[in-house]
Amino acid sequence: MIKNTKNIILKTDNLTIGYSQKKRNKIVLSKINIAIESGTLISVLGKNGIGKSTLLRTLSKVQKPISGFVYLDEQSLDSYSESALSKRLSLVLTERLPESQLTVFELIALGRQPYTNWIDTLSRVDLEKIDTAIKQTEITHLKNELFYELSDGQLQRVLIARALAQDTAVIILDEPTAHLDMYQTINIFTLLQKLVKETNKTIIISSHEINLALKLSDQIILMTENNLQFGTTAALVSQNIFDTIFPDTLLKFDKSLEQFVIKSS
């Protein structure tokens, strides 16, 4: 497959995100104009409470923008029906799953719901897609396990497999590395990087693992108070933006390493 990197899959036009309340809107960030190419891994970075989740929720139509537009495949998100959108965009959320006796296979199979008939019968194509997703995330050995018995890292892979089975051009993951240890975190990041390369999907994640994200992402969305920067790690580094996101008492940004390091006292 020839990788066409010029193809813009997700675009925002003067987007203002926030929460609309009865009397006045609570604006998180306004005038967001970004254009995301297909086949890229995008990390949304920023400190706690800056609005990473709000941005991802708005991009995935879970939440309405205050003003402005989001375009997916040059078509406004507003004009997508729930079922049409479910074939273009899939999610991996941070929320805890209700405790049920679903097996890993059944959970991944739920990702095929946009395509299955009224009684949820899995066709040959469905089974193939599920199988591919399981192989891509390397969880074949977990297939028949009950999902609630998995470790956090394994569960994250299963949820990614579910999103892959949904067969969408864009996958949005909200903090997929929360609660994971260092090894599992790197594991998930490299898995996502591999998936982007292999499948030409666009994957957007929010993360607090800034150092890893800077190394492994194709592009970075950096959110600060009143501002949003979008570009490759190198481009953002050259603009000296990273010095400003944290108070400079404990951490400093090492330009040559393109990493945050602890200040030696």
Rounded to whole angstroms, how far apart are CA atoms 155 and 220? 26
CA-closest candidate to residue 160, choices 15, 152, 79, 33: 152
Q: Residue 248 corresponds to which tokens in the numbers above? A: 């400079």
> 67 or 103, CB closer to other proteins?
103
> 86 or 199, CB closer to other proteins?
86
Rounded to whole angstroms, how far apart are CA atoms 223 and 47? 8
CA-closest candidate to residue 214, choices 256, 181, 173: 256
Q: How far is the CB of 146 from other proteins (least distance, A)?
A: 8
**Cβ contacts of residue 54 below 8 Å, gap of 6+?**
17, 18, 19, 28, 29, 63
Which helix (H) or strand (E) segment is 108 a member of? helix 104-109
Q: How far is the CB of 74 from other proteins (least distance, A)?
A: 21
Q: How far is the CB of 160 from other proteins (least distance, A)?
A: 13
> 169 or 213, CB closer to other proteins?
169
> 114 or 153, CB closer to other proteins?
114
Rounded to whole angstroms, how far apart are CA atoms 176 and 137? 14
Name the site residues for other proteins (rule: CB under 8 A): 60, 62, 82-87, 89-91, 93, 95, 97-102, 106-107, 110-111, 113-114, 116, 118-120, 166
> 165 or 222, CB closer to other proteins?
165
AA identity, residue 202: T
> 163 or 214, CB closer to other proteins?
163
Q: How far is the CB of 45 from other proteins (least distance, A)?
A: 23
Q: How far is the CB of 229 from other proteins (least distance, A)?
A: 28
Whether 170 contacts 201, CB under 8 Å: yes
Q: How far is the CB of 103 from other proteins (least distance, A)?
A: 8
If phi > 0 it is left, if psi is from -120 to 50 it is alpha, else beta; for residue 175 that is left
